[in-house]
Chains A and B, each alone.
Chain A
């Protein structure tokens, strides 16, 4: 029998324990400000999941797809409706079911990948972006007939415990992200991941070796959509709290998630985390620096524009000097450190 879980090396386990300690002990004990939880850590963790999904479908399986926000939207509204309409629905149950609903949609919208590839596939997958958001916006039932078209998402209670303040929500989201990341690592390093990469590197060769293209591609799309769906639920329930589909899940969010995967490093798990941090948090850092350091020295409108120029410039520089993204940069840095030590 094939082992369910892969074996990890000693280094892996050490890294994992260190990260766990930082995530569950250091951060909650040292960070007190609600701002850090609700505005930095939560959106970062939530969007990391979406970037992870995007990385699986794009980085590991080589299927260009653009429409992560559509699946996020599907997940968020599936959860909203389940919590609204089913009595005593447990949040975690609704969360998993929402992920599965999104995964089902992912399979449907992944079907074109069997026929078309490359940039054409990307255009075809855009359908998920437009169609899902449109359906949810068009039919009032999904939003419980709210006149303004915006939805207020419920508060999270898990077996009586309220996850309403920043720290509690952070711990919840962190736990979910860790579980899903472990699963993703396990898949990526195992036979599933090898199938993905075989399809990515040369699908004809993979097929002739007995890898089912249909199964592999759709599996990747389903997992992508599942992760995006969960990400959408967490993003709306813990960060946005109220949203309207067109504004919250627009195409620019899909692009952002794609850039997170690319800039973080395609075909890596850590890349999703670093990429999400860069795309999401760097503009915040720039804006904070702009408003604090240059406050009053330069016209505020120009500061705001300069931030965008700097951010764009950084992306271009990174792509020129390290096309493989931050994950690769991190690897080289690590190797340099190890080399200088020995």
Chain B
């Protein structure tokens, strides 16, 4: 008996060894064309899969699209995937694993998630890799003097919460004075991501005179009964919801429906509101407000081109092609458009047109991104993003957001408010600079000079 199992085990072992011998020489195929390598630390399984499949799927689609249209001045884009499951420890492993491919070092890393970003953020300066936080992550990284290698091109959470509060006041019919004496619940997932907006929110609560109630939900956030019971007792005027993952996001809406809390008084964070989060909640989702940093929609010329050149050729990455043009997809598209823009800038700036660039050159290229309306029109994404420009010290994008509302009948978002910035962008910036300076002092970093 035992011998039989032993045989099976040895054959299984030899199969593994055989497979790994296939894996290893895969890297030996010489590449004739000039290529630039991008890592894809995707999160395709687990509670946050809707986010991961849409976002990273779009990035792969865009790279395929760029390759199909002749690359970046002839440089073809290559990539390699690694599954992080939105888990910080696994993100660290993936970061190391994805570091090089075919002898080429990665130039940029995009964790799609604040926990993952915090896990690797301190390695960036040492390893010389750009951390492109696209609308997530550490906010004070917007100060490029302390964080040369970290960017937040799709606007930070501090700007986002300030814009959210501004809209709440506007929807109540006026300016900040309208929130005076009101009660706002910040219902958030209990991670670095959920807590990120708190400093700005606490400051605004004091300045504007509203009561802030912080209620935390333990991840993955499928249990929210007690929190919503508390909300029922508190009777807040607004709820700002800061969650992640379709399960948590849709559960909040169904729970709100159960206690009869109006959905039109709930404002979702960028990573809480997408089609995949709204549809599972059914009718309870109707009327929920969602903040956006890259508007969904299938009518942008670029989306049409991707459908034409990538999906018709059978190279599409999305298992369900109908998800092309949804909120997470377009956000991923926005992120990868910036990679390619940075690469294009880097090639031009360093006299390397048609050649691969190093991470230092890529960083300079990313810093030189200038997304004007005209440039977005050329790219075929007019109106999808807020126009912005980055600079040596300014590593945050426009700081502007759009507001959408879920229409249950049409099963789609409709835009309620166009790109809006906070009431006091200067105060947000001051807070960022102060926080970054504190970090620099604690960690003995000498901020670089930006003349």
Q: Which residues of A contact B (CB under 8 A)?
A: 34-35, 38-39, 43, 137, 147-150, 152, 239-244, 246-248, 250, 284-285, 287-289, 291-293, 295, 299-302, 304-305, 307-308, 321-322, 329, 332-333, 336
Question: Of the candidates A43, A149, A304, which one forms a contact with B44 in the assembled complex, judged by CB atoms under 8 Å apart?
Answer: A304
Contact (Cβ within 8 A) A301 B20: no
Q: CB of B115 within 8 A of chain A?
A: yes
Closest CB of chain B to A5's CB: distance in Å?
36
Contact (Cβ within 8 A) B195 A39: no
Given contacts A148-B196, A336-B6, contact A244 B118 (CB under 8 A): yes
Known contacts A149-B191, A248-B88, A300-B60; 11 further A-B pairs (Cβ under 8 A): A35-B96, A147-B435, A148-B192, A149-B192, A240-B88, A241-B119, A289-B23, A291-B82, A299-B317, A300-B42, A308-B45
A301 contact set on B, CB distance < 8 A:
44-45, 49, 53, 319
Closest partner residue, chain B, to A239 (CB atom): B92
Question: Of the candidates B45, B96, B97, B122, which one forms a contact with A242 in the assembled complex, judged by CB atoms under 8 Å apart?
Answer: B122
Contact (Cβ within 8 A) A292 B26: yes
Interface extent on B, as a size class?
35 or more
Closest CB of chain A to B4's CB: distance in Å?
10
Contact (Cβ within 8 A) A299 B82: no
Contact (Cβ within 8 A) A147 B92: no
Contact (Cβ within 8 A) B122 A287: no
Contact (Cβ within 8 A) A39 B96: yes
Question: Of the candidates B20, B26, B81, which one forms a contact with A300 in the assembled complex, judged by CB atoms under 8 Å apart?
Answer: B81
> How far is B61's CA from A299's CA once the two chains are assembled, in angstroms?
13
Contact (Cβ within 8 A) B42 A43: no
Contact (Cβ within 8 A) A246 B191: yes
How many A-B contacts if CB must be within 8 Å? 115
> How far is B145's CA from A225's CA once the two chains are assembled, in angstroms?
43
B191 contact set on A, CB distance < 8 A:
149, 244, 246-247
- Interface residue SS majority, chain B: helix
Closest partner residue, chain A, to B196 (CB atom): A148
Q: CB of B416 within 8 A of chain A?
A: no
A300 contact set on B, CB distance < 8 A:
42, 44, 60, 81, 317
State which residues 69-89 of B face A: CB under 8 Å: 80-83, 87-89
> How far is B83's CA from A34's CA once the two chains are assembled, in angstroms?
20
Q: CB of B236 within 8 A of chain A?
A: no
Contact (Cβ within 8 A) B88 A149: no
Closest partner residue, chain A, to B219 (CB atom): A246
Q: Which residues of B contact A (CB under 8 A)?
A: 2-3, 5-6, 9, 16, 19-20, 22-23, 26, 42, 44-45, 49, 53, 60, 80-83, 87-89, 92-93, 96-97, 99, 114-115, 118-119, 121-123, 138, 190-192, 195-196, 198-199, 218-219, 317, 319, 435, 443
> How far is B202's CA from A147's CA once the two chains are assembled, in angstroms?
12
Closest CB of chain A to B16's CB: distance in Å?
8
Contact (Cβ within 8 A) A291 B81: yes
> How far is B87's CA from A244's CA once the two chains are assembled, in angstroms?
12
Contact (Cβ within 8 A) A293 B6: no
Contact (Cβ within 8 A) B45 A288: no
Q: Which of B9, B19, B42 has the most CB of A within 10 A?
A: B9
> How far is B93's CA from A104's CA once the two chains are assembled, in angstroms?
32
Given contacts A242-B121, A247-B115, A287-B83, contact A293 B195 (CB under 8 A): no
Given contacts A35-B99, A246-B218, A333-B6, contact A241 B82 (CB under 8 A): no
Contact (Cβ within 8 A) A244 B115: yes
B317 contact set on A, CB distance < 8 A:
299-300
Question: Of the candidates B93, B122, B138, which one forms a contact with A39 in the assembled complex, judged by CB atoms under 8 Å apart?
Answer: B93
A285 contact set on B, CB distance < 8 A:
16, 20
Contact (Cβ within 8 A) B82 A287: yes
A299 contact set on B, CB distance < 8 A:
317, 319
> How far is B82's CA from A39's CA once the two chains are assembled, in angstroms?
13
Contact (Cβ within 8 A) A148 B118: yes
Question: Of the candidates B2, B44, B80, B99, which one forms a contact with A332 in the assembled complex, judged by CB atoms under 8 Å apart?
Answer: B2
> How far is B114's CA from A322's CA once the two chains are assembled, in angstroms?
41
Closest CB of chain B to A289's CB: distance in Å?
6
B88 contact set on A, CB distance < 8 A:
240, 243-244, 247-248
Q: Which of B6, B53, B92 has the most CB of A within 10 A?
A: B92
A305 contact set on B, CB distance < 8 A:
44-45
B45 contact set on A, CB distance < 8 A:
301, 304-305, 308
A39 contact set on B, CB distance < 8 A:
92-93, 96-97
Closest CB of chain A to B109's CB: distance in Å?
14
Closest CB of chain B to A38's CB: distance in Å?
5
A246 contact set on B, CB distance < 8 A:
190-191, 218-219
Given contacts A300-B42, A301-B44, contact A240 B81 (CB under 8 A): no
B9 contact set on A, CB distance < 8 A:
329
> How far is B42's CA from A254's CA once the two chains are assembled, in angstroms?
25
Contact (Cβ within 8 A) B89 A148: no
Q: Which of B22, B80, B118, B138 has the most CB of A within 10 A?
A: B118
A239 contact set on B, CB distance < 8 A:
89, 92
What are 28 sample pairs from A and B whose C-beta atoms fall under 8 A apart?
A39-B93, A39-B96, A147-B195, A152-B122, A239-B92, A240-B89, A241-B92, A241-B122, A241-B123, A242-B118, A242-B119, A246-B190, A246-B191, A246-B218, A248-B88, A284-B97, A291-B81, A291-B83, A293-B19, A299-B319, A301-B53, A301-B319, A304-B44, A305-B45, A308-B45, A321-B5, A333-B6, A336-B3
> How far is B80's CA from A326's CA once the two chains are assembled, in angstroms?
33
A147 contact set on B, CB distance < 8 A:
195, 198-199, 435
> How far is B26's CA from A293's CA once the two chains are assembled, in angstroms?
8
> How far is B191's CA from A304's CA once the two chains are assembled, in angstroms?
25
Question: Of the candidates A148, A247, A293, which one forms a contact with B22 in the assembled complex, judged by CB atoms under 8 Å apart?
Answer: A293
Contact (Cβ within 8 A) A43 B89: yes
The 4 closest A-B pairs by CB, nearest first: A39-B96, A304-B44, A39-B93, A301-B44
> How far is B87's CA from A298's CA once the two chains are assembled, in angstroms?
24
Q: Which of A244, A293, A333 has the most CB of B within 10 A?
A: A244
